């Protein structure tokens, strides 16, 4: 992509309304624009990040055998009357009436709708286990939308729903989600700690939230410092083996890690004092096992091997896809701007031509763009007629992991400069070597 032909409305001034770094940086880097309180347009750079986050979520759901689908944003109120939540949900639910005076709502979550789909099409234990998920926009009329996309009113969520014949099956599905989520967050460069949580309006008796530690997080968290050292890495786990999956979950949940809602001073006191931490965290996901809370009132049943008809055991599992864009920035930025982890960066590498119009520099840049593209990478080439300093500042702000700087002086010796955004380290090398290094 040539920057001269792209749409990257970078802001020079720091927007006054933004209180936290990720919000400021997303606005300044031209990723988002607020259209109403808590409602955002995703500008081209922001959309690229959002799509990469989504792609990781999809890949990790596919890895553990979950099936993607898509449910609508608008839902009939009647479904929610069946579960009793139409009245319970309160003011966070955006209620809409259509021209025929039918009550609709903009879905804040999809338990009722998926249960309706299930009861229409599934009737036997033979069709279980089943996990369906989608990534769709949600609406919650948050009383205080703030921090940009972190607490929006319209936001993108991955929500997955599990159906099992009994509690054991459902708990395996729960654990399998924990495994998939751990890998998902790790691939985004995040340490997201599963913490025992309280259930809220989704209801249920087993639930963990995943929290990214950040001083600007909205949740107070209490944890054993040792949880921060746990990592899944690239270990292979058979997601169909309940014991193997459980072993991973046990490893990640045995150390003390709780939010203020479930915090227990006595249990916390058992953590060695030098490892006890109190801090703040951003909730980037949550998993719930809630048994038959929806299947019973809504009549979602299956026939068991011995011919009995029982309500199906369910769970729901959510990832805050749009919130993650902000959370990743909170966890990875410096005074000059964003520092994207490789897994979610909007472009893989930035190319800065310090002397636009110089024949050697222009053609070297074109060559580098072509070589990178041929390797399947997406470079962003700053070919604008701008000072080098302004180009560097833009690249630092938008945070691409690598920058290749091309100028006539270096080229005279056959060299360009490769700079790592995270460490700031710069090295001179041939254009071919630079391409090979970032590929």
- Helix or strand (DSSP H, E) at 211: strand 206-213
- Residue 283 within binding range of ligand ATP, rule CB under 6 A: yes
> Please, which residues bridge with residue 206 across strands?
289
Pick from 134, 323, 384, 403: which binds ligand ATP (CB under 6 A)? 323
By beta-carbon proximity to Mg ion, the closer residue of 24 and 138 is 138
Which residue has the closest beta carbon to ligand ATP?
A: 320
Binding region for ligand ATP (CB under 6 A) out of 50-58, 282-290, 371-379, 392-400: 282-290
- Report the site for ligand ATP in 178-207 (rule: CB under 6 A): 200, 202
In angstroms, give the least distance from the CB of 152 to ligand ATP: 4
In angstroms, give the least distance from the CB of 148 to ligand ATP: 9
- Residue 208 within binding range of ligand ATP, rule CB under 6 A: no
Residues binding Mg ion (CB under 5 A): 283, 286
Pick from 34, 115, 286, 353: which binds ligand ATP (CB under 6 A)? 286
- List alpha helices for 200-342, DSSP H: 242-253, 265-269, 295-298, 321-331
**167-187 and 242-253 are packed helices; what angle lies between their axes, rounded to 10 degrees?**
60
Pick from 3, 8, 32, 157: which binds ligand ATP (CB under 6 A)? 157
By beta-carbon proximity to ligand ATP, the closer residue of 160 and 407 is 160
Contact criterion met (CB below 8 Å) for 196 and 359: no
Cα–Cα distance measured from residue 131 to residue 62, given in angstroms and rounded to the nearest whole number: 11
In angstroms, give the least distance from the CB of 317 to ligand ATP: 9
In the stretch 106-125, what mask flags binding to ligand ATP with x, by CB under 6 A? ---x----------------
Cα–Cα distance measured from residue 189 to residue 49, given in angstroms and rounded to the nearest whole number: 13
Strands 333-334 and 337-338: antiparallel
Which one, of 341, 322, 327, lies nearest residue 217 by Cα? 327
Cα–Cα distance measured from residue 273 to residue 278, given in angstroms and rounded to the nearest whole number: 12
Q: How many chain residues are in contact with ligand ATP, going by CB under 6 A?
A: 17
DSSP secondary structure, 422-436, as one string: TT--EEEE-HHHHHH
By beta-carbon proximity to Mg ion, the closer residue of 54 and 283 is 283
Cα–Cα distance measured from residue 118 to residue 206, given in angstroms and rounded to the nearest whole number: 22
In angstroms, give the least distance from the CB of 404 to Mg ion: 42
Cα 425 from chain centroid (whole Å): 29
Tokens standing for residue 9: 């409305």
The reply to whether omega before 155 is within 30° of 0 (cis) is no
Cα–Cα distance measured from residue 123 to residue 292, given in angstroms and rounded to the nearest whole number: 15
In angstroms, give the least distance from the CB of 209 to Mg ion: 6
By beta-carbon proximity to ligand ATP, the closer residue of 282 and 434 is 282
By beta-carbon proximity to ligand ATP, the closer residue of 324 and 438 is 324
In angstroms, give the least distance from the CB of 289 to ligand ATP: 14
Query: Interface residues with ligand ATP (CB under 6 A)?
Result: 109, 140, 142, 151-152, 155, 157, 200, 202, 283-286, 318, 320, 322-323
């Amino acid at each position: 992509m040539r920057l001269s032909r792209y749409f990257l409305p970078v802001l020079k001034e720091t927007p006054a309304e933004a209180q936290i770094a990720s919000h400021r940086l997303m606005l300044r880097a031209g990723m988002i624009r607020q259209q109403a309180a808590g409602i955002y347009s995703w500008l081209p750079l922001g959309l690229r990040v959002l799509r990469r986050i989504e792609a990781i979520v999809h890949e990790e759901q596919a890895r553990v055998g979950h099936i993607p689908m898509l449910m609508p944003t608008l839902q009939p109120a009647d479904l929610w009357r069946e579960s009793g939540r139409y009245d319970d949900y309160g003011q966070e639910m955006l209620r809409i009436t259509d021209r025929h005076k039918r009550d609709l709502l903009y879905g804040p979550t999809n338990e009722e709708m998926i249960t309706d789909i299930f009861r229409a099409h599934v009737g036997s234990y033979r069709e279980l286990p089943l996990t369906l998920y989608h990534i769709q926009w949600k609406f919650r009329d948050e009383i205080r939308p703030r921090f940009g996309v972190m607490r929006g009113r319209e936001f993108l969520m991955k929500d997955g729903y599990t159906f099992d014949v009994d509690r054991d099956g459902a708990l395996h599905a729960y654990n399998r989600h924990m495994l998939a989520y751990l890998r998902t967050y790790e691939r985004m460069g995040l340490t997201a700690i599963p913490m025992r949580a309280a259930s809220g309006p989704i209801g249920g008796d087993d639930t963990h939230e995943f929290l990214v530690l950040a001083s600007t997080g909205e949740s107070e968290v209490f944890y054993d410092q040792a949880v921060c050292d746990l990592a899944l890495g690239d270990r292979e786990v058979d997601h169909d083996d309940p014991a193997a999956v459980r072993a991973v979950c046990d490893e990640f949940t045995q150390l003390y890690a709780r939010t203020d809602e479930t915090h227990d001073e006595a249990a916390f006191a058992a953590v060695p004092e030098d490892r006890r931490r109190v801090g703040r965290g951003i909730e980037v996901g949550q998993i719930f096992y809630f048994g038959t809370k929806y299947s019973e009132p809504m009549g979602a049943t299956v026939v068991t091997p011995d011919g009995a008809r029982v309500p199906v055991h369910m769970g729901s599992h959510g990832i805050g896809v749009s919130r993650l864009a902000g959370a990743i920035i909170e966890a990875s930025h410096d005074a000059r701007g964003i520092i994207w982890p490789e897994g979610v960066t909007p472009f893989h590498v930035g190319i800065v031509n310090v002397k636009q119009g110089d024949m050697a520099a222009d053609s070297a840049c074109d060559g580098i763009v072509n070589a990178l593209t041929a390797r399947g990478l997406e470079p962003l080439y700053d070919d604008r007629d701008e000072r080098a300093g302004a180009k560097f500042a833009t690249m630092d702000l938008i945070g691409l992991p690598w920058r290749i700087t091309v100028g006539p002086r270096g080229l005279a010796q056959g060299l360009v400069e490769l700079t790592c955004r995270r460490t700031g380290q710069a090295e001179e090398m041939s254009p071919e070597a630079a391409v090979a290094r970032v590929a």
